[in-house]
């Protein structure tokens, strides 16, 4: 089982962003790293100056680097950015919107979690066009994941395994809206919330996170308890989505559990203090509401035994 570090979804300061990737390159036990701004086209220019050194450092460390395409492409600027990405030399694109599928046909590429790959027929269609890796939509449950992986044994099927889960994308910017700004004059207020703006219900329950035009969960997906089931089902990579926490240590915990150096329960105990701000959830994989945490089979078994 491989580990993939997904793209940074939040608007981090360019220096923080660069240093984050430098440390990933130097220390994180991940095979693949996705770079590039996929959420908001207005943010991209800030990272461009650091992108070459980040990519060089990752490549020098032996990481496979993928360039994520924008999730929602509608403005002329966004179409241009997407076309430029597909035309760049020596770049492997992770497609997050089907806008660039045709221009990448026949060239190796990856399909990202924002493309609706809900079944084996759709996955097979993408593979015929040159997709070598497919990160499945986070809302898929285990039987669907297993059916897709079983149908495509030669493809790296990947599952979203750690981080606040992306739930929706809009043409409208909610950071701008809560700050009473227009989208075109947003002053990049999303940078004030490097881990997303917490949205609570009126009675104070943790609910969602706003990240500009994107809505994420408040809970943090954690599939550590299911990694061996996922491997058994033919899943070949797990995606760790960057949060404002020690992602190197998160990757090490996943690696240790995958390698059998520690058991899942021990790994979950180790993860909790690394990211104390968000409760864990794994509901989507277990076909229950996504915010929920399925009762662990192991603990159920032990309850029965006593």
Q: Which of residues 123-152 bind other proteins (CB under 8 A)?
A: 123-126, 137-140, 143-145, 147-148, 151
Q: Which of residues 43-82 bind other proteins (CB under 8 A)?
A: 71-74, 78-79, 82
Nearer to other proteins, 32 or 69 (CB): 69
Residues sharing a CB contact under 8 Å with residue 30, sequence separation 6 or more, in sequence order: 2, 3, 4, 5, 24, 63, 240, 251
Least distance between other proteins and beta carbon 137 (Å): 8
Residue from 40, 65, 155, 176 touching other proteins (CB under 8 A): that is 176
Does 118 participate in binding other proteins (rule CB under 8 A)? yes
The dihedral built from the CA positions of residue 44, 48, 52 and 57, taken in this order, carries a sign that is negative
Does 98 participate in binding other proteins (rule CB under 8 A)? yes
Cα 220 from Cα 212, distance rounded (Å): 18
Least distance between other proteins and beta carbon 204 (Å): 8
Does 170 participate in binding other proteins (rule CB under 8 A)? yes
Does 165 participate in binding other proteins (rule CB under 8 A)? yes
Closest CA to 225 of 142, 144, 165: 142
Least distance between other proteins and beta carbon 9 (Å): 14
Encode 229-241: b = buried (16+ Cβ within 10 Å), e = exposed: bbeebbbbbbbbb
Determine the interface stretch with other proteins among 39-47, 173-181, 233-241, 256-264 (rule: CB under 8 A).
173-181
Render 245-279 in DSSP notation, one character per residue.
Answer: S-HHHHHHHHHHHHTTSS-HHHHHHHHGGGSTTS-
Least distance between other proteins and beta carbon 169 (Å): 5
State residue 242 phi and psi, 5-degree precision.
Answer: -60, 125
Residue from 12, 20, 174, 254 touching other proteins (CB under 8 A): that is 174
Least distance between other proteins and beta carbon 3 (Å): 23
Report which DSSP code applies to 105: T
For 82-191, where are the E strands, in sequence order? 93-95, 109-111, 131-135, 156-169
Nearer to other proteins, 102 or 305 (CB): 102
Cα 223 from Cα 264, distance rounded (Å): 10
Determine the interface stretch with other proteins among 51-59, 234-242, 243-251, 282-290 (rule: CB under 8 A).
282-290
The dihedral built from the CA positions of residue 125, 3, 233 and 229, taken in this order, carries a sign that is negative
Cα 189 from Cα 6, distance rounded (Å): 23
Does 13 participate in binding other proteins (rule CB under 8 A)? no
Q: Which of residues 189-248 bind other proteins (CB under 8 A)?
A: 197-205, 207-208, 210, 215, 217
Nearer to other proteins, 143 or 232 (CB): 143
Does 9 participate in binding other proteins (rule CB under 8 A)? no
Does 172 participate in binding other proteins (rule CB under 8 A)? yes
Q: How many residues bind other proteins (CB under 8 A)?
A: 73
Residue from 19, 31, 120, 132 touching other proteins (CB under 8 A): that is 120
Does 294 participate in binding other proteins (rule CB under 8 A)? no
Strand partners, 214: 169, 211
CB 21 within 8 A of CB 258: no
């Amino acid at each position: 089982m491989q580990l993939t570090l997904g793209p940074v979804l939040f608007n981090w300061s360019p220096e923080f962003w660069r240093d984050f990737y430098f440390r990933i390159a130097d220390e994180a036990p991940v095979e693949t790293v996705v770079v590039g701004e996929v959420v908001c086209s207005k943010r991209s220019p800030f990272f461009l100056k650091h992108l070459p050194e980040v990519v060089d450092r990752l490549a020098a460390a032996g990481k496979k680097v993928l360039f994520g395409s924008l999730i929602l492409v509608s403005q002329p600027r966004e179409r241009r950015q997407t076309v430029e990405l597909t035309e760049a030399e020596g770049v492997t694109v992770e497609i997050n919107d089907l806008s660039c599928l045709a221009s990448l046909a026949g060239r190796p590429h990856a399909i990202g979690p924002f493309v609706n790959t809900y079944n084996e027929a759709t996955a097979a269609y993408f593979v015929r066009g040159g997709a070598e890796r497919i990160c499945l939509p986070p809302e898929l449950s285990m039987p669907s994941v297993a059916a897709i992986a079983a149908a495509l044994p030669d493809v790296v099927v990947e599952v979203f395994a750690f981080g606040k889960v992306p739930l929706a994308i809009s043409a409208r910017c909610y950071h701008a809206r809560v700050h009473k700004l227009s989208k075109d004059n947003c002053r990049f207020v999303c940078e004030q919330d490097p881990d997303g703006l917490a949205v609570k219900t009126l009675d104070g329950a943790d609910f969602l996170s706003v990240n500009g035009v994107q809505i994420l969960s408040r809970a943090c997906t954690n599939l550590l308890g299911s990694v061996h089931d996922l491997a058994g089902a033919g899943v070949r990579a797990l995606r760790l989505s960057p949060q404002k926490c020690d992602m190197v240590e998160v990757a090490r915990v996943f690696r240790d559990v995958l390698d059998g150096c520690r058991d899942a329960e021990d790994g979950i105990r180790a993860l909790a203090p690394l990211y104390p701000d968000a409760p864990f959830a794994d509901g989507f994989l277990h076909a229950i509401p996504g915010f929920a945490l399925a009762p662990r089979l192991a603990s159920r078994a032990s309850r029965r035994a006593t």
